[in-house]
Structures are given as C-alpha cells and as structure tokens.
Amino acid sequence: MAGRYLVRLREPKVSRDDWRRLRRVRQHNPTYMESPSEATEAEALVCQEQRVEAFAEFLKWFTAGGEALTLRDRVDILNEAVAKTYKYDLQDLFEGLLTQYEMSAKDRKVMERAARDMDRRRRYQFKFDPVTIMKTYATKRKAFRKYLEVARRVVEGKPIDRGACAVAGGFRIINTGAFNPKVMKVVEGVVADASEAMRKVGLESLIYGDINVVGSIRGSRRSIAHYSWDTDLVFIRANLRGREGPAEKTVLHELAHRLEKQFDPARGQRALKKLYNAIKDQDEEATRSAVWDRSLWPEKGTPLDKKWKVAGVSIGGRPPAPRVELALLEDPEPLSYKAHVGMANYQRSKGVLHGAFVTSYARTSPSENFAEMVAAWCSDELPDDQQDLLLKAIGEGLGT
C-alpha cells in the first residue's frame, strides 16, 4: 500500500567495464585500494542532488498532502512499510552527503541526526492515540524541514577534495568535519594499526575504500565506529585520544561485518550460526562446571554491592542449580528479607566465571559473535581451538 508514495532514485550500478578498470587501478596503486563505488563518484554527486529534490517532493506531499491523507496515514509512512523502502534511500542520501561534501560543524550535526533518523533498521513504534500522532507528526515535520534546508545548502557547497585526503594502511581517511590535524593523526594511526593486523592474518580483501571521520557515530557518545551494511561505508569518530586500543578493536570488528557481507548469504548465515552454537556449547559447559565448583562459591557475609551481602548458597530452580542467597547488607540475624541470584550471574559479576565467548558482547548474536572473534583473531587474542572454528566458518561462508 505504501508503494505509491515512494520516490526511488538509485545510484547507478557499477558496470562490468568499471570493475575491470578498477581492478587495473588497484594493481597499479599499491598504497590505496579503491572501493567499487569510486567509479561513479561524479555520478554519485549528481545523484545526491536528485535525491535531495526527491526528498523535497516527499516532504511537500508529507506536509501538504496532495492526496488528502489522514494524519494516521502520514505516520504510517514513518512506520515499517516505508522504513524498508523509502527510508533506505534517505539513509543513503544523508550518509552520502556526510561523506561527499564539506560542511560546517553545525550542519554536520544536523546531517548526522538525519542519517540516524533514516536508519533503515530503525523502527518507529507509535501508540495510535490522536495526541501522540499529532505530536509525532509535528516533530517529524519540523525535523524533516530542517534536514531539507541543510541538505540543500550542503549539495550547493563544495565536495570534499578526496585527492587531498590522507591515506593510512590502504584506506583513504576522509575528514568530514574539519577536524584538526592532531585529531586526524590519531585516527590515521588507529586505522594503520588495524590494517596491519588484518594483513597479518590474510584479510586484505577488507582493505579498500574510505574511512569517514565523523563527530559522533549516529549521535551516540560511546560508539567508536560503524559499518553501514547497505552502503559499505565505514565511519569512525574523531576524538580517539586515550582510546586507541579499543578503537583499533572496534575498527576490526566493524570490518569483520564487511567480510560477512562478502559471504554467500545463505551459506554465510548457516556458517555463522554453526560457529555461534559451537561457542555457546563451550560456554554452557564452562558455566556448568563453574557453578557446581564449590571452591568458587562465595562465603557467607561477602558483600555483593552497596546493598547486598551473601547469606548462603542453596540449590533451586528448574533444572536444579546452585544460587546465591542474598541479604541486605545492614540486616542483622535473623534476616528480615532475602533474595537470590543465579550462581552464574554472581560469578560473572565477580569475574570468577570466564565463559567461552570472546567478549560479553559476542553473546548478542551469531553476527556479533563472529565480528568479535575476528577482532580477537587479528589482535592475536583468540584461543587456538576457537581460531580453527572461526577459519572453518570463514571458509564455509566464502564457499572456498
């Protein structure tokens, strides 16, 4: 139903000839590897102007309603149906503007917000009561108008001079926000180290294209880098001083998602799931033996945090497992109130239980587990048996 609202403008596809030309360029330029999209850079700029105008069209319709839309219809556009289709192109548009044009710090913030707002994976969940709809509509209309105003200003401005950009470890480093040379040097160092780590394990296929240095990763204060699956763009935040180590790991993690994208979709997903389940089995085994290991049980009276202390260990739940009984820290005997926490959680919080996942984030999903494992592998921190499992998964994913 949403189909008729959509204005779709896609970037021109890379032709077979472009690919051949690019391969030749790559062979003759050992320091910098071009990404496939470079072939159409000039076209991409024209394309962005068209996209901005398409966005203006969309906005005109969204606000004035040539087709007599109800308020609810308008909010529908922001919901899933459109998130899958129209917003895809808008994400490309704003991410593209950020990486293709020079802009002031103020405009950059607006464009970063727009790119986040139009993230394809984002889902709007509205309660359909009139007041909420009214409010949402008003806020979105205002935000979209601002995005349009800035986007128009940006496309009329100056494209980033990519020839003048620094190269680090085979990547071109794009300064999208006029960050000073000192800040850029730190980023270049991190990227060069990450690139070196990938080369060492034979992951040259991930080293190409641009790394875009931005003010914040989709508005988050904590995120360090981001890989955009749909556009194959890599983003890294500017201010990394004192966080070079975690930053290098994050770059490796994000580029592991690029490797995942090179997989055959069906085979790749199967391989990553198998890998995840293998690690999960190891993890459950490690957890089982730790929770039943009496030498790892806490003693009565051990404080847990500012509020709780250990009152003892009991066996409970289904299937029966040890759990830690807790009492309020200040509570004298007899205890007035008790609570309990699973032994595994307790041991994890105390750092006694080391599961098999390489980081706690790796637990999240097969895809994140894979990325975390690749990052650890490149950093020479992956146990041998897990490295074997990882290499097998990569082989299966690539179909080699």
Segment interacting with Zn ion (CB under 5 A) among 37-45, 197-205, 292-300, 364-372:
364-372
Segment interacting with Zn ion (CB under 5 A) among 135-143, 159-167, 199-207, 370-378:
370-378
Calpha distance 126→70 (Å, rounded): 15
Calpha distance 310→300 (Å, rounded): 5
Cβ 378 to Zn ion, closest distance in Å? 14
Cβ 234 to Zn ion, closest distance in Å? 12
Cβ 253 to Zn ion, closest distance in Å? 6
Indicate the length of the chain as a whole number: 400
Helix ranges, the chain (H): 16-28, 41-64, 71-78, 80-84, 86-100, 105-117, 130-156, 181-201, 244-262, 265-291, 343-349, 366-378, 384-398
Q: What is the footprint of Zn ion within residues 177-216 (CB under 5 A)?
A: none
Q: List phi, psi (to 5°) of 222.
A: -100, -30
Q: List phi, psi (to 5°) of 264.
A: -65, 125
By beta-carbon proximity to Zn ion, the closer residue of 155 and 371 is 371
Cβ 372 to Zn ion, closest distance in Å? 8
Place of tokens 């190269």: 167
Cβ 371 to Zn ion, closest distance in Å? 5
Rule CB under 5 A: choose which of 47, 151, 371, 394 binds Zn ion. Answer: 371
H/E segment holding residue 327: strand 321-328
Structural contact between residues 245 and 359, judged by C-beta atoms closer than 8 angstroms: no
Cβ 220 to Zn ion, closest distance in Å? 13
Looking only at the bridges linking them, the beta strands covering 308-316 and 321-328 are antiparallel
The residue whose Cβ lies closest to Zn ion is 371
Query: Whose CA is closest to 315, among 343, 289, 276?
Result: 343
Here's the x/- map for Zn ion, 312-351, by CB under 5 A: it reads as ----------------------------------------
By beta-carbon proximity to Zn ion, the closer residue of 108 and 249 is 249
Cβ 224 to Zn ion, closest distance in Å? 11
Q: Does 353 bind Zn ion (CB under 5 A)?
A: no
Cβ 280 to Zn ion, closest distance in Å? 18
Segment interacting with Zn ion (CB under 5 A) among 156-164, 264-272, 287-295, 366-374:
366-374
Q: Does 98 bind Zn ion (CB under 5 A)?
A: no
Task: Estimate to the nearest angstrom the gap between the alpha carbon of 210 and the chain centroid.
Answer: 17
Calpha distance 242→237 (Å, rounded): 13
Segment interacting with Zn ion (CB under 5 A) among 34-42, 194-202, 243-251, 360-368:
360-368
Q: What is the footprint of Zn ion within residues 157-176 (CB under 5 A)?
A: none
The count of chain residues that interact with Zn ion, using the rule CB under 5 A, is: 2
Residue 184 identity: M
Cβ 269 to Zn ion, closest distance in Å? 15
Calpha distance 224→379 (Å, rounded): 17
Segment interacting with Zn ion (CB under 5 A) among 23-31, 259-267, 369-377, 388-396:
369-377
Segment interacting with Zn ion (CB under 5 A) among 125-133, 278-286, 361-369, 378-386:
361-369
By beta-carbon proximity to Zn ion, the closer residue of 308 and 370 is 370
Beta bridge partners of 175: 213
Structural contact between residues 133 and 170, judged by C-beta atoms closer than 8 angstroms: no
By beta-carbon proximity to Zn ion, the closer residue of 89 and 372 is 372
By beta-carbon proximity to Zn ion, the closer residue of 151 and 259 is 259
Residue 190: helix, strand or coil by DSSP? helix
Residue 366 identity: P
Cβ 194 to Zn ion, closest distance in Å? 15
**DSSP 8-state symbol, 205:** G
By beta-carbon proximity to Zn ion, the closer residue of 89 and 368 is 368
Q: Does 234 bind Zn ion (CB under 5 A)?
A: no
How far the first Cα of the chain sits from its last, in Å, is: 42
Cβ 256 to Zn ion, closest distance in Å? 8
By beta-carbon proximity to Zn ion, the closer residue of 117 and 368 is 368
Q: Does 362 bind Zn ion (CB under 5 A)?
A: no
Token pair for 103: 């802009």
Please return the burial class of 315, using the count of CB atoms within 10 Å of its CB with bins 0-12, 13-18 and 19+.
exposed
By beta-carbon proximity to Zn ion, the closer residue of 19 and 361 is 361
CA distances from residue 244 to 141, 183, 191 in whole angstroms, order as listed: 40, 12, 10
Q: Which residues bind Zn ion (CB under 5 A)?
A: 368, 371
